Amino acid sequence: MKAAELLPFVEELETLKHYGRVKRVVGLMIESQGPASSIGDVCYIHTGMKRKKKQIRAEVIGFKNEMVILMPYTAVSDISPGCLVEATSRSLEIKVGAGLIGQVVDSLGNPLDGSPLPKGLASVSVEQEPPGPMERPPIDEPIDVGVRMIDSLLTVGKGQRVGIFAGSGVGKSTLLGMVARNTTADLNVIGLIGERGREVREFIEKDLGPEGLAKSIVVVATSDQPALMRIKGALTATAIAEYFRDEGLNVMLMMDSVTRVAMAQREIGLAVGEPPTTKGYTPSVFSTLPRLLERTGTNRLGTITAFYTVLVDGDDMNEPIADTVRGILDGHFILDRQLANKGQFPAINVLKSISRVMNNIVDEKHKGAAEKLRATLSTYAESEDLINIGAYKRGASSDIDHSINMQPQIISFLKQGIHEKMSKGESVFNLRQLMEKGE
């Protein structure tokens, strides 16, 4: 390499190191006198204890009265007043490449089993800008997710972003596992954010399985980790998906859950002195969510089809985070606890769910069959109470009679076993056959 080619690299080298000193620790927040740094920069805190001498990574999250406010990626138990704080002048970077496929990593991109990272990986920053509006090709092609109800009635396009809204224990993780195993996407990136430690291995071994893990990268940030690590888990999963999208792949990103990302951001916002607003969420929560969710979708090189789960408190679909996320995404699937109680899985309420790009990516016959099934379900739902108490008399309405006759077949069509696999073509064919029989 010639001297002229080396010049840009030499100019980027830091010739001076900037240091500061820890002055105060309040909860998860560390106040330091210096060093010169910017928000988002990673710093190293050098602990002073000889027996426990080590470097703790922390991130600059704000400034207060000329003090630098840091939040560590790990516990703060070894930090004491006067500890040296070293600035790196860089944001968090992770290693990404094909060698990560099949791995389970933490928020910093390190394998959870303690094994070394594979060689030949590239460094990427977890903080990226979303593609510009004019750099996003329109969504014009469906993607096969292998779930009959979604492929036929709520068809998803390559590059679409969908929210899965549900209370606890209604089957979100099971549905994500089905999609990960059955989808025709080139690669799955799965972010488990704020999950219980017990559930992580259960999801990987039972819901995802060896078949799903073989074409997936799983990013894990458990609920016991600091708020910053949970946010970084979401950013790391998105950055990995972006890397493979830019390689020209069709990536499936699944994040469980966006609600816990919002809760982690609320913790950080309150720590730096932001005022609490709706339900205690700080203003930064409602600016962080669009920046995160808009990073996925299409660009000129590839696509990221994204499924984000939203954990709604008390099954209230209009609580602040659910309402905000629903307004950003390209569709929402509502998981209904009543359907789950009846043993109907996946427990997606078709009448309350929508795919905003479906009409642009399916043919007229498919669209017509889906509309007929929705109309039949709607007719039955409106009259269900009368039917159940015996107040409805057969013959009073031909539409209601038809919906009663079709109900068992429709429910059978909507149900799908956890390990039952069906292509999009088969799902649409079965839908059309079902509706033609009922005519």
The two three-digit tokens of residue 286, written as one number: 């409602």
Closest CA to 233 of 269, 210, 263: 263
Closest CA to 129 of 235, 262, 226: 235
Closest CA to 251 of 346, 179, 199: 179
The two three-digit tokens of residue 197, written as one number: 């430690």
The two three-digit tokens of residue 271, written as one number: 């720590």
Residue intervals of the chain classified under CATH 2.40.10.170 are 16-91
Residue 285 has a pLDDT of: 95
Closest CA to 63 of 93, 41, 86, 90: 41
CATH topology of domain 16-91: Thrombin, subunit H (2.40.10)
Q: What is the 8-class DSSP label of residue 421?
A: -
Beta strands in 196-256 (DSSP E): 216-222, 250-256
Residue intervals of the chain classified under CATH 3.40.50.12240 are 94-359
Q: Which CATH architecture has domain 94-359?
A: 3-Layer(aba) Sandwich (3.40)
The model's pTM: 0.92
For residues 165-188, b (16+ Cβ closer than 10 Å) or e, as one string? bbbeebbbbbbbbbbbbbbebbbb
CA 350/CA 336 separation, integer angstroms:
10
Residue intervals of the chain classified under CATH 1.20.1270.330 are 365-437
Mean pLDDT per 10-residue section of the chain, whose length is 439 residues: 62 73 88 90 82 82 89 83 90 94 95 90 94 94 96 97 91 92 95 90 90 95 92 97 96 95 93 86 94 96 97 79 94 94 93 95 96 96 89 89 94 93 94 86
CATH classification for the domain delimited by 365-437, as one of 2.70.170.10, 1.20.1270.330, 3.90.1640.30, 3.40.720.10:
1.20.1270.330
Which residues are registered as beta bridge partners of 382? none
> Dihedral, CA atoms, 382, 388, 393, 398, nearest 10 degrees?
40
